[in-house]
Amino acid sequence: MNKALKNRIINSIELLPYGHDLYLHMARKRLGITYRGVYGSFHEAQQQGINQLANEYDVINQNKGEHLEQEMPVLDKRVLDIDYPLLFWLSRLMQPSQRLLELGGSIGQGFYSFENYFPYPDALQWVIAELPAAVEAGRKIASQKGETRLAFIDSNDMGEEDAVDIFMTAGTLQ
């Protein structure tokens, strides 16, 4: 299958309701995603080998730069149903000249896609704290887009970051 057709299929899947989850399920082995599943207990999950992959997020983030051409067409279109409460409250909380720190914002999907639903206030600074490979990929995309409101830092350096007005994390803590 040629690369352009494959990218169109992936982009089409991503636009379906829950399409991103479907894509991740289909591509989990290639992307190194093995942590998904429903288990009756923590012990059951451990028995399935979940705990043996302590660095799986590093594997996923190392692959971020390899899949940028697939991410770019849907980067500003990916809003999940579960993002609605976040969109609702952010649109009411944000004020001009605020700093927002997002823990685990990947390469900036939230930043790029949320703006389709409400305008960002003037002089907004949105900082994403992520693992190193995602920081590198996110910076590359922001540079290509000429986006100056978005910055990326290594999550290990969060303690050195200036004060923020809003702290946000969606799906990172668990």
**Domain boundaries, given as residue ranges, for the chain:** 3-74, 81-169
SS3 for 11-49, per residue? HHHHHCCCHHHHHHHHCHHHHCCCCCCCCCCHHHHHHCC
Q: What is the pLDDT of residue 83?
A: 84
Q: How many CB atoms lie within 10 A of CB 162?
A: 8
Q: What is the pLDDT of residue 54?
A: 46
Is the alpha carbon torsion for 109, 112, 118, 120 positive or negative?
A: positive
The CATH code belonging to domain 81-169 is: 3.40.50.150
Is the alpha carbon torsion for 24, 10, 17, 137 positive or negative?
A: positive
Provide Rg for the chain, Cα atoms: 17
3-state secondary structure of 138: helix
Q: Which long-range contacts (CB under 8 A, 24 or more apart) does 48-57 make?
A: 56/32, 57/131
pTM: predicted TM-score of the whole model, two decimal places = 0.67
Q: What is the pLDDT of residue 49?
A: 60
Structure tokens at 41: 């207990």
Kindly give the parts of the chain with pLDDT less than 50: 52-56
